[in-house]
Structure 1
Amino acid sequence: MMKDLLTVSNLSKAFDESGPVVDSLDFEVKEDEIFALLGPSGCGKTTCLRLIAGFERADKGEVKVEGRLLESPSQHVAPQNRGIGFVFQDYALFPHLSVIDNVAFGLTDIPKHKRNVYAEEVLCRTGMGDYKDRNPSELSGGQQQRVALARAIAPKPKLVLLDEPFSNLDAMLRDSMRKEVRSILKKAGMSALLVTHDQEEALSFADRIAVMNDGKIEQVGTPEEVYYNPKTKFVAQFLGRTNLFHAEANGSQEVATSLGPMHLDCDACGRVLCSIRPEHLTLEKATDQKPENVGTVVGRDFKGHDITYHVQLKGKKYLVHTDNRVLFEPNDAVVIKPLESAVILEGED
């Protein structure tokens, strides 16, 4: 079992009387794990990252790395003494220094005459060895990102913090850089904490994800767990598109819903709020079904490899993702059929 590298306990921070920006956070990042804090702008994720890095002081709680206390109301270790690497959103490279000097800058534990040799080795690992003598202004966004990553991992930190590092790249480069950075971190055996508002980025890059909302963590789990089994309405809606509906449960996993009979992911009693992803539904042509179970296609988004249908049923719209062989047109009468169980959301009625 992997050991906990970073431990965040009851961490809180407020900047004014309007309330905490970070509110009683608890999570761990394990050795050799890539962990993501995912949430909308203003949810507190970047403030959490700055507290871990030491750029902000905590009002309450603790931050520990390998059991060493770095942050608490009575303890504050300076950022440069935490042994943590940091990749900023704008990369923050020194414009007056060459690429190799940027990477060598933080290698204070290595004798001066050896710093450039080691810095060049790290640059080669990130594919930037041929650019060592250039200035940052001569590099593309993706190249600057590699240099920023090289500078962060050169001192061999146990943990690297990544603050929205892919947001300044175009879509195609963003995807390739995510794969490259993940590969570099895994090969180096380093843990990483990524902050992002991009759901696809978190799902594809991280080993585990913490979904944040309004300063709190609503759910922690693997990408598959938080996507397929959201615990709350916010998580269900933030991590992709979903269909929400109420059902009256009678103690079993079989319930009657506005979509017809459906299985739930667990036994339940009473009125419950459920979520089912659009790709967990399909459409069939309406034939001899009861009129109340027949919907109407009111929209169709063709995407090549799949199709998203908008279906009106009993005064409500539902989303259904199908492959491109399931063909219907607007105004067609259809029946929505579930392919998987619906998920019951906590704390909702």
Structure 2
Amino acid sequence: MMSDLLTVRNLTKSFDENGPVVDRLDFEVREHEIFAMLGPSGCGKTTCLRLISGFEDADKGEVRLDGEVLESPQTHVAPQDRGIGFVFQDYALFPHLSVLENVAFGLTDIPKHKRLVYAEEVLCRTGMGDYKDRNPSELSGGQQQRVALARAIAPKPKLVLLDEPFSNLDAMLRDSMRKEVRELLKKAGMSALLVTHDQEEALSFADRIAVMNDGKIEQIGTPEEVYYNPKTKFVAQFLGRTNLFHADAQGGSQVATKLGPMNLNCNACGRVLCSIRPEHLTLEKPTNQKPENVGTVLGREFKGHDITYHVQLGEEKYLVHTDNRVLFEPNDAVVIKPLESAVILDESD
């Protein structure tokens, strides 16, 4: 089992009297792990990154890297002394330096006559060796990103921080760069902490995800865990489209709903809030169902390989995501059938 490289405990930061921007965060990043902090703009994820990197001082809490205290009420290690690499959202390359000089800039622990040689080796690993003599202004966004990554990993940091590094790229390049950067980090055996507001990015890039909301972490888990088994309403809705409904549980793992009997992901008793993803439902033609169990197709979104249906059932509207072989038209009568268990959400706080 991998040991923890970065440990964050009770990390808190306020900038004014409106309350903490980062509120008592607790999490770990393991060795050789890519960890993502996912949340909407303003939730505190970038501030957390700046606290870990040393660009901000924490009000409370502790940050440890490989056992060494970097941040605490008594300690503040300077950013350049933390052994952490940082890839900024705008890449922050030095415009007056060549690509090679940018990568060599932070190699202060290597003798001067060896720095450019080693920097060129790192550039070649990122596919940018042929661009070593160019200035950053002569590069595309994807090329600048590779140079920024090369500069961050060249000093062999224990941890690499990535602040929305793909947000300035177009959709097609963003997807390919995610794959390339993930592969580079894995081949180098480095741990990384990614901050992003993009759900698809976090799900496809990270080994584990911390979902943040209003300065707090609502859930930590693998991409599959946070998507298929969200703990809160916010996580369920932020990670993708979902159907929410209340039901009265009788102590077992099944409840009666307008869709018929539905399995739950755990035993429950009393009034519960449930979530079920649109792809965990399907549509069928009515046979002998009661009228109250028959819905009406309000509309559909055809996407080639799949279809999303909007269905009215009683006073509720449901999203149903099917493959392209399940064909219905607006105003068709349909029955919604669950394919998987519904997930019970925590409504406390």
TM-score bin (small chain): over 0.9
The alpha carbon displacement at 1:111 in A equals: 0.4
> What's the % identity of the aligned pairs?
87
Runs of 4+ off more than 4 Å = none
Partner of 2:79: 79
**Correspondences of 1:84-103 after superposition (within 5 Å):** 84-103=84-103
Q: Which amino acid aligns with 1:316?
A: E
Question: Partners of 1:239 and 1:120 in 2: how far apart?
Answer: 40
Question: Partners of 1:267 and 1:103 in 2: how far apart?
Answer: 55
Tell me the secondary structure at the aligned position of residue 176 of structure 1: helix
Partner of 1:306: 306
What TM-score, normalized to structure 2? 0.99
Partner of 1:41: 41
Question: Partners of 1:195 and 1:141 in 2: how far apart?
Answer: 19
Question: Partners of 2:35 and 2:314 in 1: how far apart?
Answer: 42
Residue by residue over 1:105-151, the C-alpha shift from the partner in whole angstroms, topping out at 9 and shown as x without a partner, is 00000000000000000000000000000000000000000000000
Partner of 2:261: 261
**1:348/1:278 Cα in 2 relative to 1: closer, same or farther (>3 Å)?**
farther
Structure 1 residue 271 and structure 2 residue 274: aligned? no
Question: Partners of 1:125 and 1:320 in 2: how far apart?
Answer: 44
Question: Partners of 2:259 and 2:115 in 1: how far apart?
Answer: 65
Structure 1 residue 243 and structure 2 residue 243: aligned? yes
Q: Which amino acid aligns with 1:88?
A: F
* Greater mean deviation of Cα atoms: 253-262 or 47-56: 253-262
* Structure 2 residue runs without a partner (length 5+): none
Q: Which amino acid aligns with 1:61?
A: G
Partner of 1:135: 135
**Correspondences of 1:175-194 after superposition (within 5 Å):** 175-194=175-194
Preserved CA contact (<8 Å) 1:311 1:318:
yes
Question: Partners of 1:72 and 1:15 in 2: how far apart?
Answer: 17
Residue by residue over 1:306-336, the C-alpha shift from the partner in whole angstroms, topping out at 9 and shown as x without a partner, is 0000000111110000000000000000000
Partner of 1:290: 290
Question: Partners of 2:178 and 2:47 in 1: how far apart?
Answer: 23
Partner of 2:111: 111
Residue by residue over 1:70-102, the C-alpha shift from the partner in whole angstroms, topping out at 9 and shown as x without a partner, is 011221000000000000000000000000000
Tell me the secondary structure at the aligned position of residue 327 of structure 2: coil
Q: Which amino acid aligns with 1:286?
A: P
* Greater mean deviation of Cα atoms: 26-35 or 281-290: 281-290
Partner of 1:160: 160
Partner of 1:201: 201
Give the aligned CA root-mean-square deviation in angstroms.
0.8
* Structure 1 residue runs without a partner (length 5+): none
**Aligned pairs, how many?**
349
The alpha carbon displacement at 1:348 in A equals: 5.2
Structure 1 residue 7 and structure 2 residue 7: aligned? yes
Partner of 1:211: 211
Q: Which amino acid aligns with 2:337?
A: K
